[in-house]
Amino acid sequence: MNKLQKQSLSIAALVLLLPAWWIAHLNTTFISSPFQVARLLPAFLSEGSTWYNIGVTLFRVVAGLVLGIVAGFIAAFAMNHSRLMREVLGYYVTSALRTPSAIAAILSVAIFKGSEFGYILVVAFITFPYMAVGLRDGLASADKGLAELGQIYHLGLFTQIRHVTAPFVAPYIFAALRNAHALAWKVIVVAEIFGAARVGFGAKFEHAWSYMLMDEVHLWLLVFMALVLFAEYGVIRRAEKFVFRWR
């Protein structure tokens, strides 16, 4: 399948949602008409506050992801190098992995009382075990033959990491990143709603829902979906394609 065919199919899949949306609108009182939402969309997007709120949520997601990735990397390297750390950290990682994201969001917001750091921390807490487990598995399956190659040709530590280890574990990192990224967006909205945040996507969504401003609810949902899809297809998959261009 060529690129044009793939893009056509993606657009067709989105367009197919419109009839379903329209039917749902005709049969309920709380789902706005797609045409009404489309009419309001340009004005909504031209408002500065829309982008400000998106920016706040985006910052929380990115900062939390970065923190989670760094923590995951440290945990994975520690687990890979020491049996003791593997035993000890293994429990923390498994616990974090099994904690429902809503519970983590509520706890974090309660502990940090709705501070900015609380939102970032909940994203980091939910995403770090994915990175830790993914990278740990990648490091554990490292190609011993390539490690020997590095030894025989006296590749330095930096060269070894840059040209041998990092590309080897890259598929594991990307797989973990995609899971972590998807979860990060979900958990930040839950945290913003439960934490009674004043700004951010979740706060505005909660506000619109509380006052039954259904057009606004739909607009926020649309923007949210567009943002998540852009991050997935426009950023992560493009980066993946570049990194794995040798395949």
Partner 1 sequence: MNTDTRETVLKVVDLGVSYGETPAIAQLDFEVKRGEFVAILGPSGCGKSSMLNVLSGLMAPTRGRVVVDGDELYLPRSKDPRLGYVFQAHRLLPWRTVRQNLEIVLGASDVPRDTWHARIDEILEILHIAEFKDAWPMRLSGGQRQRVSIARAILVDPSYILMDEPLSTLDEVTARSLRQELTGICQRTGATIVFVTHSIREAVYLADRIIILTRGPAQVFENYIVPLERPRDYDDARIAEVEADIVARVQAPWGLETVKERDVA
In this complex, which beta carbon is closest to partner 1, that of residue 150 or of residue 200?
150
Residue 55 half-sphere exposure, CB side, CA atoms within 13 Å? Answer: 7
**What mask, x for binding partner 1 by CB under 8 A, covers residues 167 to 196?**
x--x--------------------------
Does 74 help bind partner 1 (rule: CB under 8 A)? no
Contacting partner 1 (CB under 8 A), which of 154, 157, 210, 242?
154
Does 145 help bind partner 1 (rule: CB under 8 A)? yes
Cβ–Cβ under 8 Å, residues 177 and 131 = yes
- Pairwise CA distance, residues 170 & 167, whole Å: 5
Least gap, CB of 83 to partner 1 (angstroms): 22
Contacting partner 1 (CB under 8 A), which of 6, 9, 70, 148?
148
Least gap, CB of 41 to partner 1 (angstroms): 42
Tokens, residue 162: 């840059």
Phi-psi region of 2 (alpha: psi -120 to 50; beta: other; left: phi over 0): beta
In this complex, which beta carbon is closest to partner 1, that of residue 42 or of residue 145?
145
- Pairwise CA distance, residues 33 & 36, whole Å: 5
Contacting partner 1 (CB under 8 A), which of 6, 39, 81, 163?
163
Least gap, CB of 238 to partner 1 (angstroms): 17
Contacts (Cβ under 8 Å, ≥6 apart) of 150: 159, 160, 164
Tokens, residue 23: 């039917």
Interface with partner 1 by CB under 8 A: which residues? 145-146, 148-149, 151-156, 159, 163-164, 167, 170, 244, 246-247
